[in-house]
């Protein structure tokens, strides 16, 4: 039994010596040994890596937070732009409605004014012509000779001509020869006693007011 205990004790001692040998530096020169330094650097690198791993999620969170804040600001900016655009659209719609309403009122007012001007013009013309009608009715009611009737008609014609003059209406002249802008040639005759395009006869007088032709003269033209 004593021998077995001694053997076990010796075996334990040998194991401890082996472990110590394994833990000892393998460098031949202890002065130039870098084993301890390498172990220290390894531990330092492991600590830095652990710190970086710990900071990584924190940095990602900060980046995400900044991106979210930027998106919020951009969203608010777009919302303001949309609100401004909607306000401008409402303003333009209101302006269009006002313009349309003003144009419609202008159109109706212009139509009424045009009708009023036309009515006033007709009234002015009728006021000028009514005295002629009065005289013709008086002449027709008078009993007398043909000479008296002729005088009454001549007086009515003069009065009617005066009425036309008051309206700035004048008879178209035929003294300067045929003018297609003023005359309507319904007959043509060859006669050397007349000049070229001379008007030799008037079948129906023409009238104009300023440059506006009311009725062309109906004439016979020579040569």
What tens digit of pLDDT does each residue of 9-44 get? 554 554 455 445 444 445 445 444 454 444 555 545
How much is the pLDDT for 136? Answer: 83
Structure confidence by residue, pLDDT tens digits, 95-122: 999 999 999 999 999 999 999 999 998 8
24-28, 57-61, 75-79, 190-194: the lowest-pLDDT one: 24-28
13-17, 55-59, 197-201: the lowest-pLDDT one: 13-17
Give CA separation, 109 vs 95, 101, 105, 114, 132, in Å: 21, 12, 6, 9, 36
pTM value is 0.50
How much is the pLDDT for 49? Answer: 57
| Structure token digits, residue 94 | 């209101």
Q: How far is CA 42 from the centre of its chain?
A: 76
Question: What is the torsion angle, in degrees rounded to the nearest 10, for the CA atoms of residue 194, residue 215, residue 155 and residue 147?
Answer: 60
Tokens 């205990």 -> residue: 5
pLDDT at 219 over 70: yes
pLDDT band at 2 (very low <50, low <70, confident <90, very high): very low
Q: Cβ(186)–Cβ(150) under 8 Å?
A: no
How much is the pLDDT for 28? Answer: 47
Tokens 């998106």 -> residue: 71
């Amino acid at each position: 039994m004593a021998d077995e205990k001694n053997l076990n004790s010796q075996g334990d001692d040998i194991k401890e010596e082996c472990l110590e040998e394994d833990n000892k530096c393998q460098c031949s020169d202890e002065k130039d040994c870098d084993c301890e330094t390498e172990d220290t650097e390894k531990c330092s690198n492991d600590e830095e890596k652990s710190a970086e791993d710990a900071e990584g999620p924190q940095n990602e969170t900060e980046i995400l937070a900044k991106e979210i804040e930027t998106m919020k600001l951009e969203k608010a900016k777009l919302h303001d732009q949309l609100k401004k655009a909607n306000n401008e659209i409402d303003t333009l719609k209101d302006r269009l409605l006002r313009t349309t309403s003003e144009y419609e009122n202008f159109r109706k007012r212009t139509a009424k004014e045009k009708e009023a001007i036309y009515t006033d013009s007709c009234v002015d013309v009728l006021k000028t012509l009514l005295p002629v009608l009065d005289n013709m009715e008086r002449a027709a009611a008078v009993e007398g000779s043909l000479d008296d009737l002729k005088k009454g008609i001549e007086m009515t014609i003069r009065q009617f001509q005066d009425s036309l003059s008051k309206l700035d209406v004048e008879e178209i002249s035929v003294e300067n020869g045929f003018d297609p802008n003023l005359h309507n040639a319904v007959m043509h005759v060859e006669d050397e006693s007349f000049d070229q395009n001379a008007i030799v006869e008037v079948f129906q007088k023409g009238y104009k007011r300023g440059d506006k032709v009311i009725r062309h003269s109906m004439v016979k033209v020579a040569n």
